[in-house]
Amino acid sequence: MKKIFNIIPILTLLIMVSCGQNKKQETPTKQSESLKELAYDAFVYAYPMLEQLKAMDQMFKYMGSKPNVLDMNSKYPMENINQPIVATNLTSMTGGGFIDISGGPVTLEIPEIKDRYVVYQFIDVFTHNFFYLGTRANNGDAGRFTFYNEGQELPTHLNSKPVLVEGDHFVLVCRIDIKDRSELEHVVALQNAIKIIDAPKELRTYPNYDKEKAYSPSFVEYVNSLLTEVPSSEKELFKKWEAIGVMADVNLNEAQLKEVQAGIDSAYAAITNESKNLEIGNGYFSATEVFGTREFLNGNYMARAAGAFFGLYGNSKEEANYFMLNTEGEGKISFSKEELPPLTNIGFWSITIHDENIMVKKNEYDSYVLTTDKMQFEEDGSLVLSISSQPEEGNWLYTPGGKMVILIRAYQADPDKIGSYIPPAFVQNK
């Protein structure tokens, strides 16, 4: 089930890195926890950072992305059909950037967007969703926002709101809703109005991702490079991890390295196993509770790792939620009024059919996605969706038959209810 959700991000964007302060330490001889146990915990902690580093490396190498330069995808979403994009979003224009504040604060300017849904998602080095702007977060208002580290001098001439960042780099993902092709010029103009208006000239260099290194005792070198300081709430953890080289310089012998490797292998197995717990019922997978702020995750590092395995850049549950079902054949999903995704008064949802690789392939009926405004509800508020190879009356989406993935996206859901929500089952035709 790997990368169920490579879904919102690599579609367009960016990522991270840095350098760490190391202090010399002798080879560890005694500690209350074994090196295997320490490596297990440290790798679970680091895994999301490593996955983000991998994504950043791909963006820099293959997409030509650059720090502090926004990259907006100006294609109409339907033009992404038949493209090798995992779980492509067919209702939004996407974009974003990798933001580096290592050399000083960066100021972002956004336009007023009141006529449609927009969200700006900000993800830090740890993969926390540390900040939001957009329809829900600031009512779609225009504004300037300066992102900075503690100790940095804020600009006074920009009339901007300061936003404190943990770490010295982060990812911005932006999505703007579009109803049809007639709105393309307008939405592209909105994209172009999103600007970085002030950024430092000096930038640090970033390490290249190497899978063999990331899954070896040398993974600590990536952690040391990505972090410039230890988070204040985690100093005790990092102090223990010095024994395996996290924010420290140690020399491990061959036996000790084998012990660390055993901890890494055990941690990765646990992460993949934990991802199975993201199955919520009726065959659906969801990651509602594994993306959010540092405060929301509250030290649940395994959940954060499972979320990264599920796929980077999942939204916090207040903003957007995703429910994915691997199935096959033709059939129906019947929603009673009570079984519809629980939303706020400004919420909406959509449902898309993908092939078994979570891609969207062109079909002769141009049938790919249904959104709330196009759904036909019964008098009692219920809804029946047909998924088949031949057009049907009412709510219908095309499938050629065989294996497929059904993806439900619920935006601005009721945060008190969405965590326990399970979509109704897909019932195959007899």
What is the rounded CA–CA span in Å between residue 328 and residue 194?
41
The CA-to-CA distance between both ends of the chain, in Å, stands at: 27
Percent of the chain at pLDDT > 90 equals 82
If you average pLDDT over every residue of the chain, what do you get?
A: 91
> What digits encode the pLDDT tens for the residues 367-379?
999 999 999 999 9
Per-residue pLDDT, 31: 57
Per-residue pLDDT, 21: 36
What is the rounded CA–CA span in Å between residue 283 and residue 296?
26
- C-alpha angle 248-20-66 in degrees, rounded to nearest 5: 150
Higher pLDDT: 288 or 68? It is: 68
> What digits encode the pLDDT tens for the residues 326-369?
999 999 999 999 999 999 998 999 999 999 988 899 999 999 99
Pair of tokens at residue 299: 């030290």
- C-alpha angle 33-39-43 in degrees, rounded to nearest 5: 140
Per-residue pLDDT, 276: 83
Q: What is the 3-state secondary structure (H, E, C) of 330-360?
A: CEEEEECHHHCCCEEEEEEEEEEEEECCCCC
Per-residue pLDDT, 32: 66
Compute the average pLDDT of residues 94-115. 97
> What digits encode the pLDDT tens for the residues 298-307?
999 999 999 9
Per-residue pLDDT, 18: 29
- Asked whether residue 61 carries a pLDDT value surpassing 90, the answer given is no
- Asked whether residue 196 carries a pLDDT value surpassing 80, the answer given is yes
Compute the average pLDDT of residues 384-413. 96
Residue indicated by tokens 């700006």? 120
What is the rounded CA–CA span in Å between residue 113 and residue 136?
11
3-state helix, strand and coil shares in percent for the chain, rounded to the nearest 5: 30, 25, 45
Per-residue pLDDT, 28: 43
Per-residue pLDDT, 277: 85
Per-residue pLDDT, 12: 34
What is the rounded CA–CA span in Å between residue 107 and residue 111?
14
Pair of tokens at residue 355: 């092939």
Higher pLDDT: 310 or 399? It is: 399
Mind listing the domains of the chain with CATH numbers? 1-280 (2.60.40.1610), 317-428 (2.60.120.600)
What is the rounded CA–CA span in Å between residue 81 and residue 360?
5
Confidence of residue 14 (pLDDT cuts 50, 70, 90): very low
Residue indicated by tokens 């996407």? 94
Higher pLDDT: 64 or 262? It is: 262
Pair of tokens at residue 402: 């065989």
What is the rounded CA–CA span in Å between residue 225 and residue 20?
5
Write the Ramachandran bin of 96: left for phi over 0, alpha for psi from -120 to 50, otherwise beta.
left
Q: Model-level pTM? A: 0.89
Contacts of 321 (CB under 8 A, 6+ apart): 286, 288, 315, 341, 409, 410, 411, 413, 418, 421
What is the rounded CA–CA span in Å between residue 351 and residue 385?
10
> What digits encode the pLDDT tens for the residues 162-188?
999 999 999 999 999 999 999 999 999
What is the rounded CA–CA span in Å between residue 223 and residue 231?
13
Residue indicated by tokens 């993974």? 219
Compute the average pLDDT of residues 420-430. 96
Give all strands (DSSP E) within 167-272, no chain letters. 169-177, 195-198
Compute the average pLDDT of residues 64-82. 93
Per-residue pLDDT, 271: 97
Quick one: which of 295, 307, 125 has its CA closest to 207?
Answer: 125
